[in-house]
Amino acid sequence: MSNDIISHMNNIISMIVKAKENTLISINTELIKLYWNVGEYLYNECTRSSWGDAFIDTLADQIKENYPEIKGFNRRGLYRMRQFFETYKDNKFVSPLVTQISWSNHLLILSGAKTIEEKEFYINLCLKEKYSKRELERQIDSAYFQRYILSEKKLEPVQIEKRTKSHFMDTYILEFLDLPKNYTEKEFQKAIIHNLKDFILEIGKDFSFIGEEFRVQVANNDYSIDLLFYHRGLSCLVAFELKIDKFKPEYLGKMNFYLEALDRDVKKTNENPSIGVILCASKENEVVEYAMSRNISPTMISEYNLKLIDKKILEQKLREYKELLPDNHNEIQDV
């Protein structure tokens, strides 16, 4: 087969794939519109009907009896549609977005997110990261919203802009690594590489993996960075150093050295300065504050947890944090 024929074939295949994608998007849009309209109808009828919720129960029985072939419009489905409309009907931020994510993701958000702020957050996150049902379920289970908001209040060097900082978390949940009780930094690194897809889901889909033990050379001496990524949104290299113990101030000096080497010898002229993430088993905020107070490089100090954190603990911390905020503070506008 000639190269010209292969090229023509690839062009046609691209058209087919694009058409299928557009068809799926169109189907999802019409489906969500249907559920929204049904939910609105049920909400209005239940509001003015003396039957109340009994109206939906009776309606579900009639649909099942007369149209058994129609799936999804049973009692549970109808209640979900009404809840869907009722939750977002007065929300000027969410209403225009509801058709852009799948119904299965909407159901996860409705059942897994308690507040309207949390629901808005996950809808925006789905749009940004194009989450599948499994990916969204994992983020809700790992309390991504609570961790994101709590990360916003952590101390960081002043030269890290909010736009940059919002791409990093104060705590990462790495329960998928399935590490033994006692493990080495090398085993920690290999486990991340082995579960790279899940690791990128946790740190953010804008990260592209470049390599492990990435070599930089300074004065004929070789040094290696544990993990090196490129962040598409920030247009910069991101170096990860992995530590299985508590953060120590000397880790910062080593990271600064790596970032300088990357910026001088690896970074392209059109890219932004490199960023470092020191991923530790734990950290003491006062030690981090002292270590970062005179630091001049953009470095984040994050900790990791190998088990899912109890959401109730994070929700309590979030409530305590919100009590300290001014009434007009909106902490989730820019995900």
User: CA torsion sign, 37 to 40 to 42 to 44?
Assistant: negative
Domain boundaries, the chain: 3-100, 145-322
Region of 120 (left: φ > 0; alpha: ψ -120 to 50; beta: rest) is alpha
Segment holding 205, helix H or strand E: none
Residues 6+ apart with CB under 8 A from 101: 123, 126, 127
Q: Give the CA angle between residues 207, 152, 163 to the nearest 5°.
A: 50
Contact 187/150 with Cβ under 8 angstroms?
no
Which pLDDT score is estimated for 51? 73
R_g of the chain computed on alpha carbons? 24
Domain 145-322 class in CATH:
alpha beta
| pTM of the shown model | 0.77
Which pLDDT score is estimated for 158? 42
Per-residue model confidence as pLDDT tens digits over 127-144: 999 999 999 999 999 999
Which pLDDT score is estimated for 155? 43
C-alpha 185, offset from chain centre:
26
Segment holding 213, helix H or strand E: strand 207-218
pLDDT, the chain, mean:
87
Per-residue model confidence as pLDDT tens digits over 269-283: 999 999 999 999 999
Residue (of 107, 106, 108) closest to 95 by Cα position: 106
Which pLDDT score is estimated for 331? 47
Q: In the chain, which stretches have pLDDT less than 70?
A: 1-2, 152-165, 294, 320-335
φ, ψ of residue 275 to 5 degrees: the values are -120, 145
